[in-house]
Structure 1
Amino acid sequence: MRRILIVIAALVLPAMAQAGEPDPLGSPMWDFHAAQVFEGASYTFDDAVKVELPVVTENQHVMPVTVDARALGEVRRIVLFADLNPIPIALDYRPLAAEAFVATRIKLDQRTPVRAAVLTADGLWHVSGGWVDAAGGGCSAPPVSRVKGDWADHLGEMRGAAWAEGEETRLRFGFRHPMDTGLVENIPGYNIDTVKVRDAGGTLLADMTIYGSVSEDPSFTLIVEPKVSGKLDVAARDTNGLEFSGSLDAATGRRLAAARP
């Protein structure tokens, strides 16, 4: 019996130690977000997850962030979140047949840690990030298209390109959308909530769940390996059930078509 207990302790204690790592950023919301994102799974703070952030954001409505977790091997999910945002999670990316790399732009409502949590095939979460200084109101001020009043005229318009880089294909695309957070008076929440990328054969390469803290007119950069030589189809859906889609030619880099609802 004693030997059994020793074996159990040897298996359980390392996981408990990982789950109890102190937050290197000292965030007051870390324990809450760790419980929500990891749901009891083990995690570790890992510099192998490269998160590119500005130290100070020039525009709290549009802050660029790049996550590169290719050094970790097989990655199942990448969750991007800002601890002190009223809508903390920006995106949940599943690189099914793509590289563990994603770049986008998000809103910040105040100075906050911005992090990427990366789930590897062994069930361990790897976390990295940093503090970003930002003025207030990134999530609680109306988007530019709402102020101009022309958002409906361009809703769902797609732009983007795909091009080869060595043995990889880099894909950059975006949709016109107000990405309303629901935190502005008299403007309900309204955002793109899913994005899917497929190759010419219909294979799902990448699948994203998107939240309202992603910036207005959201854009994304992904990497596909091995190199794709044909058409790539990008489809999005918003919280009103509207669907938007377009295609990119990975051989020429040209945008082939875009469809609005």
Structure 2
Amino acid sequence: MMRPTIFLAAIAALPASASAQALPADPLDSPMWQYHAERLFAGMPVSFDERVKIEMPIIAENQHAFPVAIDARALPGARRIVLFADLNPIPVALDYRPLAAEPFIATRIKLDQATPVRAAVQLEDGSWHLAGKWIDASGGGCSAPPVSRVRGDWAEHLGEIRGSGWHEGSETRLRISFRHPMDTGLVENIPAYNIDNVTVSRADGTPLARMHVFGSVAEDPAFTVIVDDPARTAFSVSARDTGGLEFSGSLAPATRPVMASLHP
């Protein structure tokens, strides 16, 4: 299992420079704020911004599947959303790129202990805008085996895709879920194994959104995105996991889920 510093370096892409701007004081007073911010934001301007909306419970009733929704539609030029939990062993859960979608993403993550959970939104000018909350969690979300491993049926359903779509005026809200154990590598004798890339496209292949996914996203990961869709078109979704398997399916917005098949 890679150490958190490696995960953070992969997201940041560039090291913090010697001329990095001073980081603002953390309103959540996290012991890991400086450490993560220096690696994630690569010396770019950082601010805490009320226009970044992050919705989640304040107590994790289920630390294996904790719901988080991030809405950055009030920020002009939002091009990237990073979801991370300061004190998780795998801090970054999701790196979302809304190429031609709205800067909104919802998913479920694992929590290993009480921790700040944050949304970091990058604008076209490179600046980062943050919001977050301390979440009370009993712990163990990253270090317990997934339910499908305990049942032993994970391989029978690996890669199944379910999707639903709801029209909201000229927009469509898409919810896509995958059957996958999302192993963190922190459980004895179970190596890290997770979906790591997801792309949502129009039926003609035009990419709408891409996301880089990490092992701290919950088992059977689900993602909700919002796309501009006045013509009410069909969509396709594709994904790849760290074992090299690829999954794909198509979705016409409807009120009930549809199933797509596994394509290894």
| TM-score for the superposition, normalised by structure 2 | 0.90
Superposed, 1:242-261 pairs within 5 Å as 242-250=245-253, 255=258, 257-261=260-264
Q: Is the counterpart of residue 223 in structure 1 residue 214 in structure 2?
A: no
Amino acid at match of 1:154: H
- In 2, Cα distance between the equivalents of 1:122 and 1:155? 40
Q: Of 67, 70, 73, which residue of structure 2 is paired with 1:67?
A: 70
Aligned residue in 2 for 1:100? 103
Q: How many residues align?
A: 246
In the alignment, is the contact (CA less than 8 A) between 2:94 and 2:217 conserved in 1?
Answer: yes
Amino acid at match of 1:237: R
Q: Is the counterpart of residue 77 in structure 1 residue 85 in structure 2?
A: no
- In 1, Cα distance between the equivalents of 2:183 and 2:249? 22
Superposed, 1:151-162 pairs within 5 Å as 151-162=154-165
In the alignment, is the contact (CA less than 8 A) between 1:191 and 1:211 conserved in 2?
Answer: yes
Superposed, 1:168-207 pairs within 5 Å as 168-207=171-210
**Structure 1 runs not aligned, ≥5 long:** 1-15
Rg comparison, structure with higher value: 1
Aligned residue in 1 for 2:15? none
- In 2, Cα distance between the equivalents of 1:146 and 1:251? 31
In the alignment, is the contact (CA less than 8 A) between 2:20 and 2:44 conserved in 1?
Answer: no
- In 1, Cα distance between the equivalents of 2:98 and 2:153? 34
Q: Compare the two structures and name the one with the higher helix fraction.
A: 1
TM-superposed CA distance for 1:251, in Å, is 6.6
TM-superposed CA distance for 1:17, in Å, is 10
Amino acid at match of 1:208: M
Q: Of 41, 50, 53, which residue of structure 1 is paired with 2:53?
A: 50
**Structure 2 runs not aligned, ≥5 long:** 1-18
Amino acid at match of 2:88: N
Partner SS, residue 74 of structure 2: helix
- In 1, Cα distance between the equivalents of 2:196 and 2:23? 32
Q: Of 196, 207, 216, which residue of structure 2 is paired with 1:213?
A: 216
In the alignment, is the contact (CA less than 8 A) between 2:162 and 2:259 conserved in 1?
Answer: no
Structure 1 pair 157–139 and aligned structure 2 pair: CA distance change class (3 A): same
Structure 1 pair 169–108 and aligned structure 2 pair: CA distance change class (3 A): same
In the alignment, is the contact (CA less than 8 A) between 2:79 and 2:98 conserved in 1?
Answer: yes
- In 2, Cα distance between the equivalents of 1:223 and 1:18? 33
**133-142 or 246-255: which moved more?**
246-255
Partner SS, residue 218 of structure 2: coil
- In 2, Cα distance between the equivalents of 1:251 and 1:201? 19
Aligned residue in 2 for 1:21? 24
Partner SS, residue 31 of structure 1: helix
In the alignment, is the contact (CA less than 8 A) between 1:171 and 1:223 conserved in 2?
Answer: yes
Q: Percent identity?
A: 65
TM-superposed CA distance for 1:257, in Å, is 3.5
- In 1, Cα distance between the equivalents of 2:104 and 2:23? 27
Question: How well do the aligned residues superpose, as a CA RMSD in angstroms?
Answer: 1.6
